Each structure stands twice: as C-alpha cells, then as structure tokens.
Structure 1
Amino acid sequence: MRKRLLRLTAASICGLAVANGDLVPAGIAGSTTNAPFAFVTAAHADDDDGGDDDGGGGSSSSSGRSSDRGSSGVWRGGGNLLDLFRGAPEKRTARRPQPARKPTHVPGEIIALGLDDAAIQRLGERGFTVRARQSLGLSGSQIVKLSVPARMTLELARQEVAAASPGAVADLNHYFEPNEGTVQPTPCGEGRCALVRTAIGWPEPDAGKACTAAGPIGLIDTAINPGHPALQGVDLDIVRLAADEAPESGRQHGTAVAALIAGRQDSRAPGLLRDARLIAVDAFQKTKGDADVAETYNLVRAIDLLASRGVAVINMSLSGPHNQLLEKTVSLVAERNILQVAAAGNDGPRAKPVYPAAYPELIAVTAVDRNFRPYRHAAQGDHIDVAALGTGVWTAASVDGGRPRTGTSFAAPFVTAAVAILRASNPSLSAEEIGKLVVQTTEDVGAPGKDPVFGWGVLNARELCRS
C-alpha cells in the first residue's frame, strides 16, 4: 500500500496520472479526477503572423516519436521514457518563407539614348549585342537596348555605354508597375461610390462648352478591354508596344483608368470627361509571376509616341525606380508644353519617392477619401503636389459593369481630367501656367501651404468650368 501511494505521489508531481497500470500525461487518461495536479503546457507564439500555413497547424503530432505511443497517448515502450517527464514536446510551426524579392530591372541589359552608329559598332566589338533600337522624335536620337557581355557587371557596362558617345545617357532597363492599390470592399448601393466625385464638386456632364476637355489625352497603362460597355463608342486608340511574343498584360488596371477618364456617360461606369479622345499606350507585359511590368525601354517609347500625337496631357498611373533615360524623356516632354500627371504610389507614407511622380516636371498625385482623409497606403513627401479622390472610386471592371477601386492610380485621372478642362478653357497658357491653375483649384486641408501629405491641397473641381 505504501508503494502504491508513493507511486501515485511521484506520478502526480511529474504531471502524470495512472491509467490501467500505465503512466500517462494527466488529462489524457480519460479522467483528470485521478490526478492531484493538472498537466499544464505552455503556449508558444506563432512566428508567421498568424497566417494559414501547411506546416503550422493540424492535429497530427509534431514529435518524431509519435509511433511510440498508442492512440490514447499511453507510452507503449520504445523511444525515451524520460520524454514523459519532460512535458509535452514543443509544437513547432513552420516559418513562412520570406516572399521572393521582385526584380527591379531586366537582367543583363543596358538601355541608352544618344549613341551614334560608330559608338554602337565599337560597343559591339567589346561584346555588347543590340537587342532592339528605335528612333525617338523627342530626343532626335535613338533608344538602344543592349545585352551586356558575359562576366561584366551592369554598373561597369552602364559606365562604358555612357562613355561611348558624348552626351549619351545610359542606365539599367528598370521595371515599372501599375499602382494597383486595393479593391474597396465598401458596398456601393444607391450610387454611393458612383457619386464619390460629388465630394469635390465634379462638374456634371451637361456643364456646357466651358467644361469640355482639350485633347487628345494620353494614357500609359496596362492592356484595355475596348469591348467593355463603358468604352464602346468612345474615341479610343490603343497601341501596344511590347513584343508580339510577350504575354499581354492584364486588363483590369488599364480598363479602370481609361473608363474613369472617358467612360460613356450612359454606362454603369461613366467617366469624368464627356466625348474625350483618348490615346492609350499599353507598355506592359505579363511576367511568369503573373505581375504586369513595363520596361523603361517601352515606357520611354510610349511617352515619345504620345508626344508625337500632340496630346495635351499624359496620365501615368504607374511607378518604379529612378532612371536616367526616363528623367531625360519627361524633361523633353515638358519642353513640348505637354502636361504630365503621375500617381504618387501606394508603398506607404514612409516609403521612398517613386518615379516618374517624383520628377519635378510632373504633377504628383496622392489619394484621399471623400472626407479628405489620406489613403493609408499613399506615398508622402515633399514631391507631392496635389491630392485627389482615390478611395472607393467607382469605375469599370475588366469585363463588364463596374466596381469601386482604391489607390493613387485612381486619384491621378481626376487631376488629368482637370488639366484637360483647364487647357481647353485656357489654350494660350503654357503647361507651367496650367499647372499653377491646378494648384489654385485645390482646397488646403493640411498644414498651411504645401505639405508632404496633401501637397498644395485636395483638388476642388467646382471652379474648373468657370475659370
């Protein structure tokens, strides 16, 4: 009897109970009343941010010795008996792998402006290979895409290409992405999203001749669905620049932006402008990872094409890193008296500035909601010029109908449309003077004057058609 009592006491202290003559963890034997002390295990934090993970959950044992126990948890021999006295094995959750870093540029390529034929020939002798080239009207030269010789770093290659001709500009062939933002989950019954533009007093379609747009309007974006009911009958010219063999980019972003600017007024996704002419350049292509990207090579060509078509303004709801060729190109466009509007990006208020929005020649647009609160993912900084509606903006879906969209991509078209109206009303003004008029139509809602959150303020369209 004394041995039996000692056995029970030792088992209880170690967090064990007795069941059918076997030692088992308390609470597993079926009744916890047999154990003087409850068997308590520590809770371990999950390191994968609480997301679902194939390796972190499930009811199967995470111990490599599960075969040494019966279905009731009773030790049947084998393994190490001391495991029972150490407590339950720690449950390990597979750490979620870090997402692969997105490539920022085309590997092994350099692009250049201002190379003459002799320089290109010399570079060929050095092992460079011309992959593509095209003459540009803006610069009066050609843009060249070069493959870098084996075992030469991209930076060394860039320096060598830049030095091949006096005044040449060379850089990596950087990738740019559309500023996707998010799909706004807010219900849009009773026109709540469709009427979001009324928050800034956007003119009604029948506001008269004073509210027509100067045209054409240039757009650089992803692919567009011209068969969408909101775009049927719209004066829309679509040009695709990517190589024929390259997978076509998705149509969601481009269709949404195009319809927001020029969608039919009698459709489910009416645009900001009535009877506008839109020249849309698809400079994007789909990657293996299902992302839409535009090479700088194609982005520069797209800007050059739109400049040659005499557009009044260019909308670029896209972003990427600083690139010397892009910087040179937007500077040349500004000299042509063409306004350029770009989305500020959705990388967050502490993110570094993105381009082309951060170049001084462009109007950088951030996003706010209908109460003029900043969109929480919108970029901030000294380069921000204007804020516009960018959350819950009703526009076309990729196939049919419409949906609310959020992001700086959908704020930029408000400023683009405003620029087109101001230019039509003031044809004698320069691009710089039109830019100042845009600033004058803003409502200063942040710190007095220009601030890094709202720029000069939120676009106020009430005076657009009376300027």
Structure 2
Amino acid sequence: MRKPTHVPGEVIALGLDDAAILRLGERGFTARSRQPLGLSGSEIVKLSIPSGMTLEAARQEVAAASPGAIADLNHYFEPNEGATQPTPCGKGRCALVRTAIGWPEPDAGKACTAAGPIGLIDTAINPDHPALQGVDLHIVPLAADEAPESGRQHGTAVAALIAGRQDSRAPGLLRDARLIAVDAFQKTKGDADVAETYDLIRAIDLLASRGVTVINMSLSGPHNQLLEKTVSLVAKRDILQVAAAGNDGPRAKPVYPAAYPELIAVTAVDRNFRPYRRAAQGEHIDVAALGTGVWTAASVDGGRPRTGTSFAAPFVTAAVAILKASNPSLSAEEIGELVAKTAEDVGAPGKDPVFGWGVLNARELCRS
C-alpha cells in the first residue's frame, strides 16, 4: 500500500491578500489556518478545497486568486532514517565512526566549537536525555495550541549527534554548541512521524527570525513550490541550509529540500567510504558524510548506532558551523564552496552523482 504524499483535500498558498481569501471563500474554499511569515512578508494560508473539485484545479484557482500568489499541495515530509544493522560494542559505547574522517574523539581535548546558533527542524527531542543535560538547547513550539509532539527518537538522536555532552555516552560533534530546535512533525495513525509542508515552512521561517547560522533538515519529501520559494529566501539571508539526500535508493528520484540548489545535499557512506546502499544518488548530491552505524543518543537514555542520510547531514551542519566560526567574513555560499573544496574526492574525479564533491574531511576543522 502506497503511503500518501500529501494532506487530502488541502492546498497551501503564499501571497494571498484578504480580498482573495474572501473570494475563494465564496467559491467554497475554507481558510483552515493562516500565519504571517517574516521571510516573504506575506501569510501562508492552508485551505480546504470545495467538494467535487480536484486538487490540481483547486491549486490553479488559488494561484490565480492574487497576482504573484503561489499555491501547491500540502505535501508530507519524513525523517531520513534507514535500517540499522546491529553493531558490536565494547565497554561504554560503540566505536565513534567519526574518527574515519578525522573528527577527534571527545576525550582528545580537541572538541570543536562553532558559530551559532544552529537551527534544527526535526521530530520532538527529549531534553532530559543525559547527553543533552546542560546543553544550550532551546526547543521552540510552532504555536501554543499545536497538536501533541511527535516521537522523540529521531530528533533526540540528531540533536545529540550535533551537541551531546562530551562526557556522556552519546558525545556530540561540537562543544558548547547552541541549538534552536523546532518540532515540525506529528504522529500519524500508523505511528509514523510526518511533517506537513505548511508546518515545515513555518519552522524554517521561525528559525530564520532567530538568526541561526545554519539549519539542519534531516528530512525529505516531494518538490513543493512554496518550499522552493522559502529556501531561496533563506539563502538570501545568508543562512546555510543542510539537508539529508534521502534513503529511497540510488535509482530514486531526487527528494527535497536537498535537491534545491540553495541547500547542501548530503549523502551517506560507511567508515570505509563505501556508499550506504539505500542512500540517494544524483547530480544534486554535494557531499558525502558518515551515515552508517553512527553512534548517538537513544530516545530515553544511553546510545545506539543509527543509519541513514539523516545522520550524515549533522556532520556537514557541524562542519559549516565550525567553518563559519573560523571564517566569519565568508558568505554562506563561500562556506559551502569551502566544504566542497576540502572534501576527499573518493569517486570519479571531481563532482559525481555518488559522492558529490567527495567525503567530508574534518582533519583541518577541529583545533585545540
């Protein structure tokens, strides 16, 4: 049974004025939710469509309701976690695969510091996890009256991978990082975590308003015109955006937001730089990072190995935050170029569809 790709009977829009919304109401549309966005200077509107109208006909009518309006379906997005093979562990925790790219062990006295704050859009996070105790973590709700939070497994793992306490069982890549996290997801009836485009855009807008240096999005879904517009506006604010390339397999179509040119699209490799078998490939891939058997926090306590492009993306997010701290005068675009330039070229010479520019190289990033 195929999973639904969008909310049934809904379209979302940017750039509708009050008069247009009123006219659409007379046509049988219902504005279910409206929220102003700082990035676009307009509202994002969620509309139920009239009975008997197709989604495509509704999208076209809404887009034509105001000059310059953009309308699309309210697509679903999912976290990018793959299946994890059991990893043998010794005392304490599993080996930290990060050392394969030169990232220092947490007890080496060379943990990395970074420019911040770092924005994170993910599922809910367990702030009481021992790895996150004392971490500068600010969890921002989308709204006070929103639905209950999503599952905590994925978000906790990604947050700890970036900023977990260095003395914990799930030490993070960065020391003293500041994280601002938004849960854009909700539980479905099948217990899966999904994010509507409407909420994903609101989360991006919220983080942009908080002055983050970089936004990590370990999630993916279909192309969406409103999302495309939003990430382009974020790029104009000189904010770096990093996204997981997806786990639908090497022959799958590109997923978004990773495939938009404004983002750094991250695929996954193992500690021997072999591609993760489910990782996406394509011309849009920018860089590869470790994404199989990555040791990070479990949802309640301790740690476990995780696999997927979701856990490769935080390596690049941490790297660009470090580079920004070391090179504050560089633009977001120049930081992205520096990541590509310093990557270890392990595939075909130059940029290729499997590894992008190569595997992230952390050997020159972290200094004591």
TM-score w.r.t. the length of structure 1 is 0.76
CA distance in 2, matches of 1:207, 1:328: 43
Cross-structure match for 2:360: 459
Q: Greater CA deviation, 383-392 or 245-254?
A: 245-254
CA offsets 1:414-445 (integer angstroms, 9 cap, x no match): 00000000000000110000001111221000
Partners of 1:367 and 1:411 within 8 A in 2: yes
Measured after TM superposition, the shift of residue 106 of structure 1 is 0.5
Hey, what's the Cα distance between the residues in 2 that align with 1:241 and 1:103? 24
Deviation at 1:189, TM superposition (A): 1.7
Q: Write the distance in 2 (CA, Å) between the matches of 1:420 and 1:110.
A: 35
Cα drift, residue 295 of structure 1:
0.3
8 Å contact kept, 2:93–2:169: no
CA deviations over 1:109-141 (Å, ceiling 9, x no partner):
010001111111111111111100000000000
Pairs within 5 Å for 1:129-144: 129-144=30-45
Whether the aligned pair in 2 keeps the contact of 1:246 and 1:286 (CA below 8 Å) is: no
- The partner residue of 2:64 within 155, 159, 163 is 163
Secondary structure (helix, strand or coil) at the match of 1:464 reads coil
Q: Indicate the SS of the match to 1:348.
A: coil
Write the distance in 2 (CA, Å) between the matches of 1:380 and 1:116. 40
SS in 2 for 1:459: coil
Take 1:192 and 1:277, find their aligned partners in 2: how far apart are those partners?
A: 25
Find the aligned partners of 1:447 and 1:350 in 2 and give their Cα distance: 18
Question: Relative CO higher for 1 or 2, CA cutoff 8 Å, sep ≥ 6?
Answer: 2
Alignment partner of 1:366: what SS?
A: strand
Contact 1:242 1:298 survives alignment (8 Å): no
Residue segments in structure 2 that go unaligned for 5+ positions in a row: none
Do 1:242 and 1:285's aligned partners in 2 also have CA atoms closer than 8 Å?
A: no
Distance in 2 (alpha carbons) for counterparts of 1:441 and 1:198 = 17
199-208 or 318-327, larger mean C-alpha shift = 199-208
More deviation in 240-249 or 222-231? 240-249
| Separation of aligned partners in 2, 1:228 and 1:441 | 34
Deviations 1:24-78 (A, max 9, x none): xxxxxxxxxxxxxxxxxxxxxxxxxxxxxxxxxxxxxxxxxxxxxxxxxxxxxxx
> What's the offset of the Cα at 1:207?
8.0
- Is 2:54 aligned against 1:153? yes
User: In 1, are the aligned partners of 2:215 and 2:317 still within 8 Å (CA)?
Assistant: yes
* 1:222 and 1:283 in contact (8 A); partners too: yes
In structure 2, the CA distance between the partners of 1:242 and 1:288, relative to structure 1 (3 Å rule), is farther
C-alpha displacement at 1:243, in angstroms?
7.7
String of CA shifts for 1:176-203, please: whole Å, max 9, x gaps. 0001212331212257734211100014
User: What is the DSSP-based 3-state SS (H/G/I as helix, E as strand, rest coil) of the residue aligned with 2:366?
Assistant: helix
Give the C-alpha shift of residue 246 in structure 1: 2.9
2:350–2:357 Cα contact (<8 Å) kept: yes
Q: Say if 1:271 and 1:209 are closer, same or farther in 2 by CA, change over 3 A.
A: closer
**1:105 alignment partner in structure 2:** 6
Counterpart contact for 1:441–1:459, Cα < 8 Å? yes
Q: 1:338 to 1:388 in 2, by over 3 A?
A: same
- 2:289–2:360 Cα contact (<8 Å) kept: yes
User: Structure 1: where are the runs of 5+ without partners?
Assistant: 1-100
Quickly say closer, same or farther: Cα 1:419–1:245, change in 2 above 3 A. Answer: closer
Shift of 1:206: 7.8
Q: Could you list the per-position Cα deviations for residues 341-385 of structure 1 after superposition, in whole angstroms to 9, with x for gaps in the alignment? A: 000000000001000000000000000000000000000000000
How far did 1:261 drift? 0.2
8 Å contact kept, 1:242–1:284: no
Measured at CA, do residues 190 and 116 of structure 1 come closer, stay the same or move farther in structure 2, by a change above 3 Å?
A: same
How far apart are 1:242 and its partner, in Å?
A: 7.0
**Cα shift at 1:205:** 5.1
Q: How many residues are aligned here?
A: 367
Question: Is the contact made by 2:82 and 2:247 (CA closer than 8 Å) also made in structure 1?
Answer: yes
Question: Please, what TM-score do these two structures have when normalized by structure 2?
Answer: 0.96
| Cα shift at 1:244 | 4.1
Q: Deviations over 1:75-126 (max 9, x none)?
A: xxxxxxxxxxxxxxxxxxxxxxxxxx11110111010001111111111111
Q: Does 1:401 align with 2:302?
A: yes
C-alpha separation between the residues in 1 aligned to 2:180 and 2:27? 40
- On the 8 A contact 1:171/1:323 being kept in 2, the answer is yes
